[in-house]
Structure 1
Amino acid sequence: MENTEKQNTPNQPNKFGTWLKTSITARMIVVGILIMVLLIPLTFVNILIEERAFRQQDVVREINSKWGNDVTIYGPVLKLPYKTYTETSTFNEKTKAYIKETKTHIKYAYIFPETLETDVDVKSKSLYLGNFESAVFTSKMKMNGRFNAIDLSTKDINGDDIMWNKATMLFRTTNLKGIKTEMLIDLDGDSYPFETNFYDNNSKSHLDELETNFINEELLRSEFEYSMNVTYDGSEQIKLIPVGKTTTMTMESNWSDPGFIGNYSPNDETRSITKDGFKADWKVLSINRPFSQIYLNKLPNLNQFGFGTKFVVLVDEYQKSERSAKYGFLVIGLTFLLFFLIQTLSKIHIHPFQYLMIGLALVMFYTLLVSMSEHSNFLKAYLIAGTSVVVLITLYSKSILKNIKFPLFIGLSLTALYAFIYVIIQLENYALLVGSVGLFVILAIVMFVSRKIDWNNG
């Protein structure tokens, strides 16, 4: 009899399911949870972008190591040995007297030139390995200037203690493997070859040192001129350290996207940048730099005072993809909000699984964007990925919402949102301003549309 009663008892309604369907609060909770869940795959997308960006850096380093690395020029510098003396007293037990002994020590003075004029002609191009690009160049440098007659009396060094016949010229630089010409320096008509010189290179310098044989000591008694030419195969950047009391540099290249780097900017009046290349001039006076013309005992590391040009590859697809992915939470949140408002106003039921499918489609936009941008430019990849996702969600919405009006509205809204984000990631100085104004407008629209919703109903 009990079994008969149980069989005749009508099924009790699923109160929780009914609450989910009818309660606005319940739908808001479910949508919020789904957004949090979708942050997990969105995080993996960001990790994927970082991994691909690191891969790009590795490939660029590989390209550069084969062609030639960045170029930094430090010199020429005159290296002049001199004698110093120390006197010691030793007590002699036999004579019961102190014996004075004078020891001679060899030290070095490093003297910078009075003028340094550098003319740099750079032929640049892009090299590719797979989908990755690096900017490389061949630079022809002409350097000339003069040294004043050597006078170390200001450093309390007697002229008789200077070893004039042991003077040499130094030249420090990066990228020895990229040098394509014999390294010579002309001093008043006499040529002196440079040879690689081992020295205690600290980790902050990264410069290799070249040194000549002993130069004609008669040169040092009066003012003399110097000149040298060097051709490099290099990549990324060229920098010059302003060792001249007056340092000038002129650089001309066919690269249309230069980035001027270092402590000193080129002359605005003579600088020109066109689609065919650029030309820039620098002038640095001794008063502009915090170091002197003569150093004793050790040549300082002056890398931080270098200036020059970085040959920029502007199309950094991974950086743009990363900036785009940062707005992933905003895109998912606003899209779900749009569906939530349509569901609430039209009384159409949308299952949490359908929200999840829409969210995954939005996440797939970023994987499509990254993969396509590796084989095409960013704009084309963005258009293809965006169009694919918008069409997919619009068609899927039609099956959910059972009419054409709401899906078209969703498609247009997503198109506007992706266009808005594309504009933001292209901006640098105004990205925050445009983003803030755009979000304010979106908030105003949401407030206007939701004003008729009875939030007290559930």
Structure 2
Amino acid sequence: MENQIQSQQNSFFNWLNKSLTVKMAVIGFLILILLIPLVYVQSLIAERAQRQQEVISEINEKWGKEHIISGPFIKIPYIKRTTSNYTDPNSKQVKTSTQYSTSYAYFSPDEINGKTNLDVKTLQRSIYKSAVYEGSIVMNGKLARPDFKTEDIKEEDVQWDKASIVIQTSNLKGIKNNLSVKIGNKNLSLSPKFVQQNESSKDLHSLQSEYFDFRELNSLDFQFKLDLNGSERFSIIPIAKETKLNMKSNWTSPSFVGEYLPKNEDEKVSKDGFDANWDILYYNRPFSQSFFGGLPNLNEYSFGVNLLVPVDEYQKSERSAKYGYLVISFTFLFFFLIQAVNKVNIHPFQYLLIGLALVMFYTLLISISEHSNFLYAYLIAAISVIALISLYTSSVLKKAKFAVFIAASLSALYSFIYVIIQLENYALLAGSIGLFIILGIVMFISRKVEWK
């Protein structure tokens, strides 16, 4: 009786050992287990990318952040009259009272002609780089004559003798010269000053000139020069009826950003840098030439250039890691087909070691790409992992042809993944075709498997 039970147990374990269904279930379970370290790898990539942004932000903070320039505006105070009705408690009659307060009007120029030159260089801290620039902008043009009639403001309520010029910038720290504006026969120095705004705008700070009497100007032509340090981005807000800007730089990979692109964008970039021109009319933007009460936040209408260092290793590593489950699944499938077709035995622990080697590819890729370009990092990591798994396969299965098959399969798979992560517009198409071909090959090989 005991011998019969022992025989049944041996038969059951032999069936488990030989059953392809059980082996497939075990392999599927191992794939699920290996998704855990893959999640940690993706978390590591995100952490390193965040560290990169922190270091770049620290570099830019010390050198000077991005610049957004807006102005010049003419700022003129006026008396605001507010009337209200009330009932006199003694006479019980309705009377009218008038309250007086000081408000401000801002008027944009008729013309702005700007010329900007940005000398861009990279600053490095540890393994991270940031693009910074030393720049200068010269602006000239013609101011508009203020018109208070549109708001029904009386001439005697306008304080013409307390007019001033306001220029806004997002980066006071980056200004490197004593800023002054020449208007007609007057040369006005500017200093930081709080300017009330209609909307919350913590990004822009105001520089305001000393008071002058607008009626004494012999010309409305203006000119000023601004020397500055900045990083990442330079842009201006087109506040004039016609805003023209010429921007030159030695940076060879600009990204023109904002609401408006330069004329003939593709023709302005060369190996020596870029030379871009904008010409924007006030019809092209949805705000008026004058503001009463305060300045609104117009940052969303700015235009200019981004000067970010084109570093996308972390982004490519992240995209590569998203295909990790696909690499592990197909690699296990290759080994399963070898095991099923050739009647060789591969232990689940050996599958687990192979899966861990595949996960190590991504840690190698991240660490090497931080010190080299992505292509070299990908090649080194892929060759290392393929060599390791191939040698292990040759040692475990005792046949060189299995190692050659695995090496060829992994090489094709990693090449396929690399092509996909390099493509943008055709990634889905290439991925679909590649997976279809792989499925066809698997179906062709699996026809020899005896599933019974």
Structure 1 residue 147 displacement after superposition: 1.3
Structure 1 contact 271–281 (Cα < 8 Å) conserved: no
Q: Does 1:327 align with 2:335?
A: no
Structure 2 contact 110–144 (Cα < 8 Å) conserved: yes
Q: Percent identity?
A: 48
SS at match of 2:173: helix
The match for 2:165 among 166, 169, 172 is 169
Structure 1 pair 23–273 and aligned structure 2 pair: CA distance change class (3 A): same
Q: Which residue of the partner structure matches residue 215 of structure 1?
A: 212
Which amino acid letter does the alignment assign opposite residue 112 of structure 2?
L
Structure 1 residue 234 displacement after superposition: 0.7
Give matches, 1:61-80, under 5 Å: 61-80=57-76
| 1:155-192 residue CA offsets vs partner (Å, 9 max, x unmatched) | 22233321110111111111111111111111124211
Structure 1 residue 68 displacement after superposition: 0.6
Q: CA–CA distance in 1 between the matches of 2:115 and 2:107?
A: 22
Q: Does 1:185 align with 2:181?
A: yes
Structure 1 pair 444–7 and aligned structure 2 pair: CA distance change class (3 A): closer
Q: Which residue of the partner structure matches residue 345 of structure 2?
A: 349
SS at match of 2:75: strand
Structure 1 pair 377–16 and aligned structure 2 pair: CA distance change class (3 A): farther
Structure 1 pair 282–19 and aligned structure 2 pair: CA distance change class (3 A): farther
SS at match of 1:321: helix
Structure 2 contact 71–168 (Cα < 8 Å) conserved: yes
TM-score, with normalisation over the residues of structure 1? 0.92
Q: Which residue of the partner structure matches residue 194 of structure 1?
A: 190
Q: Which residue of the partner structure matches residue 293 of structure 2?
A: 297
Structure 1 pair 10–96 and aligned structure 2 pair: CA distance change class (3 A): closer
| 1:48-107 residue CA offsets vs partner (Å, 9 max, x unmatched) | 111111111111111111111011111111111122334567888899998876543222
Q: CA–CA distance in 2 between the matches of 1:203 and 1:91?
A: 38
Q: Does 1:415 align with 2:424?
A: no
Q: Which residue of the partner structure matches residue 305 of structure 2?
A: 309
| 1:242-284 residue CA offsets vs partner (Å, 9 max, x unmatched) | 1011111111111111111111111126742123211211121
Give matches, 1:36-435, under 5 Å: 36-87=32-83, 102-200=98-196, 203-218=200-215, 224-268=220-264, 271-435=267-431
Q: CA–CA distance in 1 between the matches of 2:155 and 2:418?
A: 69
Structure 1 contact 19–26 (Cα < 8 Å) conserved: no
Q: CA–CA distance in 1 between the matches of 2:405 and 2:2?
A: 50
Q: CA–CA distance in 2 between the matches of 1:117 and 1:105?
A: 36
Which amino acid letter does the alignment assign opposite residue 396 of structure 1?
Y
Q: CA–CA distance in 2 between the matches of 1:175 and 1:279?
A: 24
**Gapped regions of structure 1 (runs ≥ 5):** none
**Gapped regions of structure 2 (runs ≥ 5):** none
Q: CA–CA distance in 1 between the matches of 2:68 and 2:363?
A: 39
Q: CA–CA distance in 2 between the matches of 1:19 and 1:342?
A: 19
Which one is further off, 348-357 or 416-425? 416-425
Structure 1 pair 327–89 and aligned structure 2 pair: CA distance change class (3 A): closer
Structure 1 pair 53–14 and aligned structure 2 pair: CA distance change class (3 A): farther
Structure 1 residue 218 displacement after superposition: 2.6
Q: CA–CA distance in 1 between the matches of 2:235 and 2:67?
A: 6
How many residues align structurally? 451
Which one is further off, 417-426 or 342-351? 417-426
SS at match of 1:176: coil
The match for 1:446 among 428, 434, 442 is 442
Q: Which residue of the partner structure matches residue 18 of structure 1?
A: 14
Structure 1 pair 297–18 and aligned structure 2 pair: CA distance change class (3 A): same
Structure 2 contact 195–294 (Cα < 8 Å) conserved: no
